[in-house]
Each structure stands twice: as structure tokens, then as C-alpha cells.
Structure 1
Amino acid sequence: MARRRRPRLAAALVAVAVANLASIFVASAEPALSFTSEAQAGAALPTSSDAFVFDGSTSDIARQLYLRHAAGETVDPVLPNSIPASVTARLAPLTVSYDNLPGLLQRALLWDSGYVISPDNDAVQIWTLGGRSMANLAVSTVEYATTGCTALYCGQPDNSSYSANEFCSGPQMLTAAKCLMDDFDSDASSHLAMWSNGGDPDMVPQIRAVLHGWRDLSTNASYLVYAVHTMSANAEPAYGTCNANGYGSLVVPCYPLSNTSSDVVAVMAAPVASPWLTTWIKKYQPTTDATVSSDSESDGSGFNLWLLIPIILSALAAAALIFAAVFKKRRRLRSVYWQRDSPADSDCSGRKSKPSGPLTAPRQAAINRTSLRRTEQETIGEFNRTLRLPGDDDNASQVEEPSPDFDEVLPRPRRNTAPVPRTTAPPTRGVANAARGSLPAVQNIYSFGVLLTELDTCEAPFHSTLGPNGDKMKPFLILKQVVDGLLRPSLSDACPPRIRKAADACFQHDPKLRPSAAELVELLGG
């Protein structure tokens, strides 16, 4: 039995060491796996000499924000209730924190990654037609004319003009839309234009998500359109009016996710990122991290040599534990086998009269063997108690030591059957108790979000996730995108908003941003 227990102990210790090493390698490999796209490589920054004017003909809001930054303007930081996982994953390879970026760059990063801010300060996701850039969502005057809607024409201070929608139904407007917006909470519909192509070249555009919902009195039909507005709510003119003595603004209509057919949703995808924005972000990298990154790139390897220190220490600790356990076990067994003054010998030598006859020698040998076996089992019991793993104390009431009161002489039919001590019974209760308390709270919160998606969809997560070629995505690719924060379990279209909001909070890529159990109860309670 000692020989069987020793390999199990060694295997357990080696498994712990391997798990530590694997976690270190995975942590060091994640940035290398995600730092591959052209967008993360960087490109030349825009300049004021470029043929670019923010006049409503383009939705390149990120470029306009950078030009205002280059002109010396500053704005307050924009801090949504939770930072989107894709934004965090985009910053992770660059070792940059979202909180350390200036307000203009924060707005540009959110927009370029496909997010706008709702009235409740949530980051609302946008998918674009064919996965196009967020700079190509503006609806031109020609495209608007094809919808059959009428337009309102207004003048601007630079003697130019802009247009806004006048008479237009929801389906007509959406025929020109190039984006799909996730659902968000809004107290009321805004009485504003849902399409406009104006713009001030010197303005700092906002990225507001606005709900447009109304009922047509003539047909009694209800319409719902989401839109991105770039002017503050206080400055934007009401529907059907012009901005007197001022400029218009860019308004981009989008499909609402909850009220859109699956055919339209199928042609929408996450927007492609702008490479030059990475160059802007790199300006805010920490000096030490930038130095280490440049050294790694010059060596042609993304592995940090400092990670060898915990790897070596983990290996040495595992080897020391194995050596100490094996040495202590052998030392005790050797002392037992070489001990001649056993309790059985003392008991037999102290008797005044000994039985005579042919049974004397076999009985004496059986007594010696029984005593030696009992001593060995007691030693193994002490060894097991010494090396008991954490959590085994809970099971102490169920594990009993072998009784030393074995029959000194076994009957003949039982001489070929080895007695099995009860200590070999698997301590399932202790293992279960240890397993229930082993997961960190942040992993339990993420698992709760997965449970919500399974209860909502009645399907396993990612069961129908497709790759770029239309085939079912491989498990390794799904795992990689989940680790990078680019993929997470999805909910059905009929999922209640508060369940969707709670699940989105559970899936935050940064564990620190995930809610606590009390906060989840508040979210689910509405």
C-alpha cells in the first residue's frame, strides 16, 4: 500500500506545480496571441493638412476628435458604467489603462471600437454592415433620397447648407441604415431628427445613443429607430426645425437589435479598427513597459524572461516536497521493519508457560507477521495524517484507522485473502467540501452569467458560433476569443432587459469590473 500511495502523492504535487506553470505561460501568451492585427501595429496619425472636413458627409468621429486634440482642446473623461471587454482587450497588448487616457482619446477609442453612450451612461455596442469601419456609416443626401422620404433644408454660418429628415416612416429610414445598435434603456423617445448631415469643422462631436419611437396617427403603425447623435441634447434643434444661426450636426440612423429581422442581423459584424488610433494610444504607454516591450521585440520573442523566476521557484518547491515526502516515508518504514522488539515478542516472552506441540512454531510465526503488519499499518496511518491535504479535516469523522485487533491466526480459507483497511475508502465528502469553496468569486460571477444565457436560450454557449468561412468555429478559436475578450455568450432577442444587463455585467473581461452577488440581486430585481 505504501508503494501505491507514494506515486499518488508525487503525482498530486507535480499536478499542482504544472498548474502553476500553465497559468504563468497562459498569462504571458495572451498578449502575444492578440497582438497580431494590422490595427494593433499602428499607422501614421492624421494631420490638419489632410483633405478632411467634419461637415456631416463622413462619420469619422475618431479623426475629428484627434484633430481637436492636436489643436489643444480638452474635455472631461467619459467613464461608462462598465468598460467594454473588446476595448480592454484592445488596450491590454499595449499595456495602457483606459482610465489613463485623455477624454478625447477615450471617446475616439469607444467610437472606433463600435460603442456609443446611452442616456443611462452605458456603453452600447454597434455592429456595421459587412463589418465596415465606423467612419463609413454616414447616410449621404443621395442615399437618403432613395428612401422616398422628404428632407428639411437649413443654412449654416459658413453659407453652406445641411439637411435633416422631415416626413419619413421607420421602415423608409432603415432602408438607408448601415448599422445595428444593441438595445438600451431609455425613459422616453427623443423628439429630434433621426437623420442629419450637418457639421461644424471645429466642434467636438458627442457619441450619444438616442431612441426614436413613435406611432403614425394616420396608419396607427408603431416605429422604432435608434440613432447616433453628435451634438449635445441641449444644443440640438428639435425635429422639424433648423439650428438658427448655428451649424447642424451628424445624425446616423441604425437598426434596433430587438426589432430587426435575422436576415439583417446576419449581414452585420463588429467594425474593423483604425490602425492609426493605435499610434495615438501608444503615446500613453508607461515608460518601463514600453522599454520591456521594445527589448522583447528586438529579441524576436514575446516571452518575458522575468517569468522564469516563478517557474524555477515552482519547480524547486515541487521537487523539495516530493523528496521530503518520499524520504520521510522510507525512513519510517525502514525503522519498522528493522525493529525486533515488537509488542508481540514482548507479550510472548512474558508468558510463564508456552504451548507445546506441532502448532507452536506456526502460531508464533503468525503472531510475528500479524504484529508486523499492524505496526506497518499504524505507521502508514500516521504518515497519511502528516501529509493530509487541505480540506481533508472536514472528512476526518468518516476516515477511520485500521483496528489493531486482527485475529492473530487467520482461518485456513482466509489465509490467501489480504485484509483491506478502511482508510482506502475514498474521502469524497472532504473533496466535495474543498471543491465548493475553491472557485474565486469573480469566476462564480462569470459562471452565473453563463447560466443566465443557458436558461434564456436553452442551448449551450457558443453552440452555433460560426467562423469567417461560415463553418462552425473550432473550440480552440472560441477559447482564444473568449480569453481575448472578443467573444462572450449571447442572449436571445426575447431576453428581458434586466437579465441582459446582468449577464453583460457578469461577462466583463476585467474581473474587477464584474458585480458582486449583492449587486446582481439588485440588477435582477429591476
Structure 2
Amino acid sequence: MGTPVISLQRMHCSVNSCPRPSTFQCFAVNSTVEIRHSKIYLADMHAAFAFSLLLAALAPFVQGQTVTFRSLEESSSPSSYVFNGSDSDIAQQLYIRHKAGDTGDEVELTSVPTAVTERLSAINVDFNSLPGLVQRAVLWDTGFAIAPGNVPVQVYPMHNRTMDNIVIPKWEVSGVDCTFTNCSQPNDVTAYYSHTCTGWQMLNTSHCVIDVFEDSGAGTYLGNMWANGGDPDVAPLIELRDHTWTEPVFNASVTFSVYVVHTVSSSKEVAWGECPSGYGTVSIPCARRDLFSDEFMAANTTVPTGSAWVTTWLEVEFAEESSGFDKILLVPIILGAVVVLGAIGLGWFCWKRKAKNSAQKSTSAAHDLETDQYVALITPEMILGPTAGVGTPYWTAPEILEGKRYTEQADIYSFGVVLTELDTSKIPYSDAATEHGGKPKPFQILQDVMAGKLRPTFSKDCPPRIQKIGMACLALSPEDRPTAQELVQELQGNGGGQ
């Protein structure tokens, strides 16, 4: 027997036997729940609690697995992302340039980092077989830059940041009294380079730490420590340099050392105090690892593991066929079980509300009224059909797709997606369309979800209260989603909504 999932059908009923129209009926039909002529027989009212327990038990496993799908097709439309110095999403820019046909030399590292090897081995991808631009994207997304001599070096984002947002905004650099060299760009947007700034000032604004590396040219390198320009058509490098210099401070000579990630080669980097002839570059200053204790690092930095969308891209485009068992096949099974128990849990809430209403009704007030109600039925075709693999990442919260740290609010988002499926009887985003009316590629859907441009939708017949709850669960920012306690109160009708 196949793993059951949820689909929907309508029924007509009367006020004697059905809850109010604003109540969302969702009773699962399997060995523990039966529907017979609109009469509900629940064999286990504790299933709702099992749903919560299963979510808590399985969340670490699901979050620890790479959520990917082999049938994902490549996106043929260009991304709306623009590499302009406002962020450090180098992996995204390299993906765009790779899709545009750009090429680059393969990276010849002294050794491939273990974190990269393990990440790629899990999806049957060989680092050495990847194109140069893709190699760079994988390294950066996994938390590495390249020091002189082609040595991969670990980068640690600070304060819950990720590799795509460790740049320092201009206002922060200005806030520590650094001055700038202003440079015009072809798009009429000014690029800024740091001009007068001590190592202390720059390190007080940095959002990353980098392991110690050797740079024989550190003392003579005249590149810029910080820059926020950006060529939208560049294929950025991830080149590390050590900016070391000595200057008089308070009648003494002080030697500073600031590690900087440069997105263009040293030979193309303009000298300090000068402007490029075209677009500016992105330069990201970071602190040296030997400046901090292990305790500070544990409390204030993270070790990147890579974002889900990059893993999906790699598996779809570059994974080799494998006859071995793939752990990721467990994810649809887990999600299927969660969906089933979720339906039973919602049924339990509805049953409680129905019992409460029945106790308060007078027998003389019974009038038949036809109204549309929703009954969730368990059928195997959705999970066993060809869309099963495609749908798996659609339950994942945007911040998790981006590779950010997991929180309980990610489960709340997934619950909101389940509500839309219960309502529409379709997989999420089945109604999504491109600007030309076509069907978007799954990868483009994921990109739009991460950008906050797309959310699962409810049908026009969905009860307003359920739609309100679902949309709150689907908020882009985790902080804007309800807590588990608030969600339970809303589902029970105790949240103040109608």
C-alpha cells in the first residue's frame, strides 16, 4: 500500500451535522478515521498530539538532509538579481554568469576542503569535474575563499550572517569615521572605495573571520580594503589578500593586518586612492582568526554548510547517476507522514469545535442548509505520481532554502504550505505562471520564493479564517509568523479572528 497523502472533495451537509461555514473541516480517512454519510468516527483523538511530536522528532532529520529533486529542470529565464555591491551573494552571480554562457579556468586547489567533498559526495558530484565558475560558487557557498597559492581558506560569518550577506554597508564604514574615494560607474551609480581608515576602524565593522593564511606580498599590496561597486556582468573571483601595513598611531608605530576577499584579480584591482575606468568592485574585509579565542568563535560565528538552492542546482545539472540508496528519498516519505498526521490533527480541532457547538444548540433550531464544506481524504496518487520529487522543496521555508540557520518558525511555514494543499487539493505553486503566461521552471519558483515574490495560494472558496492563518504562517520573515502556541489558539478559534 502506497504512502497516503491529502486531497480534497466537497460535500453538502446541514447545520445539524456540520460545523459553521467558517470552520475548516479536514478529516483524514484511513484505518483510524472513517467518513460514512457525513458521520465522523474518530478512533484516536490523540493523533493531533502525534502530529506535533512527529514534527519535533523529524525536524532535525529533515533539516539535516539536502532537500533536492532530480527531476528539476534548469531555469531558462535570467534572474532579477543584480550584482551591485549591496551583498556578497557571489554564488548567485556565478550561477547567473554560468547560465549566460560565461566560462572560467578550473580551480586548481592544493586540496579540496573536506566540507566541500562531503557536500558533493552526498549528491554524487565530483568537484574536479565542475566548470570553473561552478567550482567557485560551491567553494563560496560552503564557506571558502582562495588564498595565494590556491589554498582554500575557511570563512566564518559573524552574528548569524550567511555567506551572501557579509559585506559591510557604506553607512557602517562611514560610522567608524573612515573616508572614501568616490568613483563613477557606467550605470551612473557611484562606487565607493575606502580611503583613510585604520585597521582598528575596519575590523570594528567586519562581519566575518578568516582562518590564518600566508601572503608573501602582504606588505607591498596596494589594493583597497573595502569597496562596494559591482559589474552586473562580472564573474566574481573569491581571492584572498592580506593587507598589512605599519603607520604611526599615538607616537608609536602600529602594524595592522586585515584579510580581504577581492572579487577581481590583484592584477586588475585599482591601486589605493584611484578609480577604475569602468565598474567598481566588491571588496570584503574580515578579521584574522588568531585575534579571537575559541570561546568567542563558538558564540559569535558560524561554519557555513551551504544553501539548499545551490545543492539543488548542482544535483540537477552535474550529479552522476548512482545505483545506491539515496537518503533524500526518505524526505517525501517523512513529509507524507507529516501531512497525513497534520490532517488528522486539524480534524481533531474541528471535532472539538463541532462537539462544543452541538452541546450549545437547541433541537428546535435545526434547519437544513446546504453549504460548501471541505473534507480531506487520503489518496495515494499525489505522493506516488510524477510530481512527488518536484514537490518536496516546496514545503521548505525561504530562509532554509538560502542556507540560513534553522528555527522552529521554519516548521510553521511548512504547516502553512500544507494548509494550501489541503484547501486546493494541488501541490504548492501549481498555479504559478511566468510573465508570459507559461509554467515557470521549478528552480525559478524556488528563487522567487527566496526573494519573497511568490507564496502558495488558497482557493477563493477557502474559509477566511483558515486563509488568514495560512497566510500568517507563510510570512517571508520568520519573526512575522505565529508561534506554535498562537497557531493552536487560532485553529481552535481562540485567537480573536472570525
Give me the TM-score of the superposition, normalised by structure 2.
Answer: 0.50
After superposition, the C-alpha distances for 1:147-173 in whole angstroms (9 at most, x for unaligned) are 111111111122221101111111100
Please tell me the residue identity of whatever aligns with 1:176: T
Which residue matches 1:211? 242
Whether 2:226 is the aligned partner of 1:195: answer: yes
Give, in whole Å, the separation in 1 of the partners of 2:75 and 2:161.
20
Matched, 1:258 2:290: yes
Residues in 2 aligned to 1:295 and 1:188: alpha-carbon distance in whole angstroms = 46
Pairing 1:303-342 to 2, within 5 Å after superposition:
none
Opposite residue 196 of structure 1, the aligned amino acid is A
Cross-structure match for 1:225: 258
Report what 1:440 is aligned to: none
State the match for 1:90 in structure 2.
119
SS at match of 2:197: coil
| 1:425-448 deviation line (CA, Å, top 9, x unaligned) | xxxxxxxxxxxxxxxxxxxxxxxx
Show structure 2 runs of 5+ residues with no match: 1-59, 335-405, 408-498
Amino acid at match of 1:58: D
Q: Structure 1 residues 176 and 48, CA, compared in 2 at 3 Å: closer, same or farther? A: farther
- For residue 212 of structure 1, give the secondary structure of its aligned residue in structure 2: strand
Show the counterpart of 1:353.
none
Q: Which has the higher contact order (CA 8 A, sep 6+)?
A: 2
2:66 and 2:328 in contact (8 A); partners too: no
Contact 1:42 1:277 in 2 (8 A): no
In structure 1, what is the equivalent of residue 152 of structure 2?
Answer: 123
One-letter amino acid of the structure 1 residue matched with residue 313 of structure 2? W
Q: Distance in 2 between matches of 1:160 and 1:105?
A: 29
For 1:256 and 1:295, how far apart are their aligned partners in 2?
37
Q: Secondary structure at the match of 2:290?
A: helix
Map 1:311-390; keep pairs closer than 5 Å.
none
Aligned match for 2:306, one of 266, 273, 285:
273
Residue 79 of structure 1 corresponds to 108
> Which residue of 1 is the match for residue 274 of structure 2?
241
Secondary structure class of the residue paired with 2:321: helix
CA contact (8 A) 1:164 1:196 kept: yes
Preserved contact between residue 130 and residue 318 of structure 2 (Cα < 8 Å): no
CA deviations on 1:387-412 (whole Å, 9 max, x unpaired) are xxxxxxxxxxxxxxxxxxxxxxxxxx
Counterpart amino acid of residue 213 in structure 1: T
For the residues of structure 2 that align with 1:204 and 1:141, how far apart are their CA atoms? 23
Compute the RMSD of aligned alpha carbons: 3.1
Percentage identity across aligned positions? 35
SS at 1:224 equivalent: strand
- DSSP-derived class of the 1:95 partner: coil
Change over 3 Å in CA distance of 1:296–1:277 after alignment to 2: closer
1:62 match: secondary structure: helix
Does 2:189 correspond to 1:160? yes
Query: For 2:137 and 2:111, how far apart are their aligned partners in 1?
Result: 17
Name the amino acid aligned to 1:79. Answer: E
Contact 1:39/1:278 (<8 A) preserved: no
The answer to whether the 8 A contact 1:47-1:67 is kept is no
Aligned residue number for residue 67 of structure 1: 96
Q: Is the 8 A contact 2:123 2:319 kept in 1?
A: no
Q: Name which one, 1 or 2, has greater alpha-carbon Rg.
A: 1
Q: Secondary structure at the match of 2:186?
A: coil
CA pair 273-46 structure 1, distance change in 2 beyond 3 A? farther
Displacement, 1:35? Answer: 8.2
The code of the aligned residue for 2:289 comes to L
Q: Which deviates the most, 279-288 or 41-50?
A: 41-50
Q: Which amino acid aligns with 2:279?
A: Y
What letter matches 1:208 in structure 2?
Answer: E
Q: Distance in 2 between matches of 1:111 and 1:295?
A: 24
Distance apart, 1:185 and its partner CA: 1.1
| Aligned residues between the structures | 271
Instruction: Give the number of the structure whose residues are more often helix, by fraction.
Output: 1
State the distance in 2 between where 1:295 and 1:133 align: 24
What is the rounded CA distance, in whole Å, between the counterparts of 1:205 and 1:48 in structure 2? 21
Task: State which drifts further: 191-200 or 144-153.
Answer: 144-153
Aligned mates of 2:136, 2:154 — CA distance in 1: 14
- Asked whether the equivalents of residues 180 and 255 of structure 1 are also in contact (C-alpha less than 8 Å), the reply is yes
In structure 1, how many angstroms separate the alpha carbons of the residues matched to 2:292 and 2:332? 50
Structure 1 position 246, deviation (Å): 1.2
Equivalent pair of 2:124/2:321 in contact (CA under 8 Å)? no
Aligned-partner SS, 1:66: helix
Higher strand share: 2
**TM-score, L = length of structure 1:** 0.47
Q: Offset of 1:143 from its aligned partner?
A: 1.3
Seen in structure 2, the aligned counterparts of structure 1 residues 286 and 148 have a Cα distance that, compared at 3 Å, is closer
Give, in whole Å, the separation in 2 of the partners of 1:48 and 1:165: 36
Question: How far apart are 1:79 and its partner, in Å?
Answer: 2.4
Tell me if the contact between 1:133 and 1:273 (Cα under 8 Å) persists in the aligned partners: no
Worse-matched range after superposition: 75-84 or 47-56 = 47-56
Asked if structure 2 preserves the Cα contact closer than 8 Å seen for 1:60 and 1:135, the reply is yes
Distance in 1 of aligned mates of 2:291 and 2:303: 19
2-structure distance, mates of 1:112, 1:136: 11
Judged with a 3 Å threshold, the aligned counterparts in structure 2 of structure 1 residues 201 and 131 are, in CA distance, closer, same or farther, namely same
CA distance in 2, matches of 1:261, 1:147: 24
Counterpart pick for 1:99 among 128, 145, 159? 128
Structure 2 residue identity aligned to 1:216: E
Matches within 5 A, 1:358-437: none
Residue 200 of structure 1 deviates from its aligned partner by 0.1
**Whole-angstrom CA distance in 2 between matches of 1:154 and 1:77:** 32
Asked if the contact 1:39–1:275 (Cα under 8 Å) also holds between the matched residues in 2, the reply is: no
Q: Deviations over 1:168-218 (max 9, x none)?
A: 111100111000000011102121110000110000100001101111135
Retained in 1: the 8 A contact 2:67–2:331? no
Give the match for residue 171 of structure 2.
142
Alignment CA distance shift 1:299-1:41 (3 Å): closer
Distance in 2 (CA, whole Å) between partners of 1:47 and 1:253 is 35
